[in-house]
Chains A and B, each alone.
Chain A
Amino acid sequence: MAGRPTAFVNARMIDPESRYDGPGCLVVTEGVIADIARRPGLEGLSEDVRVVDCNGAMLAPGLIDLRVKTGEPGAEPKETLKSAARAAAAGGVTSMVLQPDTDPTIDDPAMVDFILRRARDIELVHVYAAGAATKGCEGQRMAELGLMREAGAVYFTDVDRPIVDSKVMGRVLRYAHAFGARVAHRPADPYLSAGAAATAGEFSGRLGLPSVPAVAERIMLERDLAMAELTGAALLVDQITTAGALESLRRARDRGVNVAATASINHLSFNELDIGDYRTFYRLDPPLRSEDDRQALVEAVASGLVEVIVSAHAPAPAEDKRLPFAEAAPGAVGLETLLPAILALHHDGRAPLLDLISAATLAPARLLGLRAGRLAAGAPADLVLCDIDAPVVIDADRLISKSKNSPFDGRRLQGQVLMTLVDGRVVHQAEQ
Chain B
Amino acid sequence: MDTDADIEASIRRRAFAFPHRHFLSVHGLSRPDAEQLLDLADAFVAVNRRADKKLGLLRGRTLVNLFFEASTRTMSSFELAAKRLGADTIAMSPRTSSMTKGETLIDTAVTLNAMRPDLLVVRHSASGAASLLAQKVSCSVVNAGDGWHEHPTQALLDALTLRRAFGKVEGLTVAICGDVMHSRVARSNVGFLQLLGARVRLVGPPTLMPPGVDRWGAEVFHDMRKGVAGVDVVMMLRLQLERMDGAFVPSTREYSRFFGLDAEMLAHAAPHVRVMHPGPMNRGVEIESGVADDPGVSLIQDQVEMGVAARMAVLASLAARLAEGVEV
Contacts and interface: CB of A to CB of B under 8 A. Distances in A.
Interface of A: 200-209, 211, 213, 277-278, 319, 322-327
Contacts of B105: 323-324
A209 B147 CA distance: 8
A208 B184 CA distance: 8
B148 interface: yes
Contacts of B213: 205
B197 interface: no
A207 B211 contact: no
15 contacts: A200-B212, A202-B212, A205-B211, A205-B212, A205-B216, A207-B149, A208-B146, A208-B184, A209-B127, A323-B105, A323-B126, A323-B132, A324-B129, A324-B146, A327-B126
Given A322-B104, A323-B105, A324-B105, A205 B210 contact: yes
B127 A325 contact: yes
Contact of A278 (B106, B132, B210): B132
Contact of A201 (B147, B148, B150, B212): B212
Contacts of B148: 208-209
A326 B127 contact: yes
Nearest to B25: A277
A206 B124 contact: no
B289 interface: no
Interface string B78-104: 000000000000000000000000001
A82 B173 CA distance: 63
B215 interface: yes
B101 to A, nearest CB: 15
Contacts, number: 70
A208 B147 contact: yes
B187 interface: yes
B211 A202 contact: yes
Interface of B: 104-106, 124, 126-129, 131-132, 146-150, 184, 187, 210-213, 215-216
A211 B128 CA distance: 14
Given A202-B212, A208-B148, A324-B147, A278 B104 contact: no
B127 A322 contact: no
Nearest to B134: A277
Given A205-B213, A278-B131, A324-B127, 10 more contacts: A202-B211, A205-B211, A208-B146, A208-B210, A278-B128, A322-B106, A323-B106, A325-B126, A326-B147, A327-B126
Contacts of B216: 205-206
A38 to B, nearest CB: 53
A205 B148 CA distance: 9
A324 B104 CA distance: 10
Contacts of B212: 200-206
A398 B132 CA distance: 24
A327 B124 CA distance: 12
A209 B211 CA distance: 10
The 8 A-B residue pairs with the shortest CB-CB distance, nearest first, are A202-B212, A278-B128, A324-B126, A208-B148, A208-B149, A205-B210, A200-B211, A208-B127
A346 to B, nearest CB: 33
A194 to B, nearest CB: 12
Given A322-B104, A324-B105, A324-B147, A202 B215 contact: yes
Contacts of A207: 127-128, 149
A325 B129 CA distance: 8
Contacts of B126: 323-327
B211 A324 contact: no
Interface-central residue, A204, A209, A211, by most chain B CB under 10 Å: A209
Nearest to B68: A324
Contact of A208 (B106, B132, B187, B215): B187
Interface-central residue, B124, B146, B147, B184, by most chain A CB under 10 Å: B147
Contacts of A327: 126
Nearest to B212: A202
Contacts of B127: 207-209, 278, 324-326
